[in-house]
Amino acid sequence: MKPDIHPQYGTTVVTCSCGHTFTTRSTAKNGQIHAETCSECHPFYTGKQRVLDTAGRVAKFQQKYAKAAAKKAK
């Protein structure tokens, strides 16, 4: 095996956008990782799931591009 080909595996501080921090081990070079979600704020772990209005989003998208298609057809 080749010597010295693996990155250093050191202690890393992970900071979530909610403000929660915890320490783990990683190969991150600066020793810090910034995450968008963690187990403290992710809906799967907290049980506070949001329902997304996907039907409304699809209708809005179709209305938006129906106008463009009508202009193109003329």
- Domain coordinates in residue numbering, the chain: 10-73
Only one residue has tokens 């209708």, namely 59
> Per residue in 29-59, pLDDT tens?
899 999 988 888 887 777 777 655 667 788 8
Q: Is 41 annotated as a binding residue?
A: yes
Strand partners, 21: 15
* 15 vs 21: CA distance, rounded Å: 4
Above pLDDT 70, what percent of the chain? 89
Q: Is 16 annotated as a binding residue?
A: yes
Is the distance from CB of 56 to CB of 35 less than 8 angstroms?
A: no
Burial label, 34 (beta-carbon count in 10 A; 0-12, 13-18, 19+): exposed
Q: Is 32 annotated as a binding residue?
A: no
Q: What is the pTM of this model?
A: 0.54
pLDDT of residue 13: 95
The class (CATH top level) of 10-73 is: few secondary structures
pLDDT of residue 53: 62
Reduced to 3 states (helix: H, G, I; strand: E, B; else coil), residue 1 is: coil
Average predicted confidence (pLDDT) for the chain: 84
> Per residue in 53-65, pLDDT tens?
667 788 888 888 8
Q: Is 38 annotated as a binding residue?
A: yes
Residue 43 or 15, more confident: 15
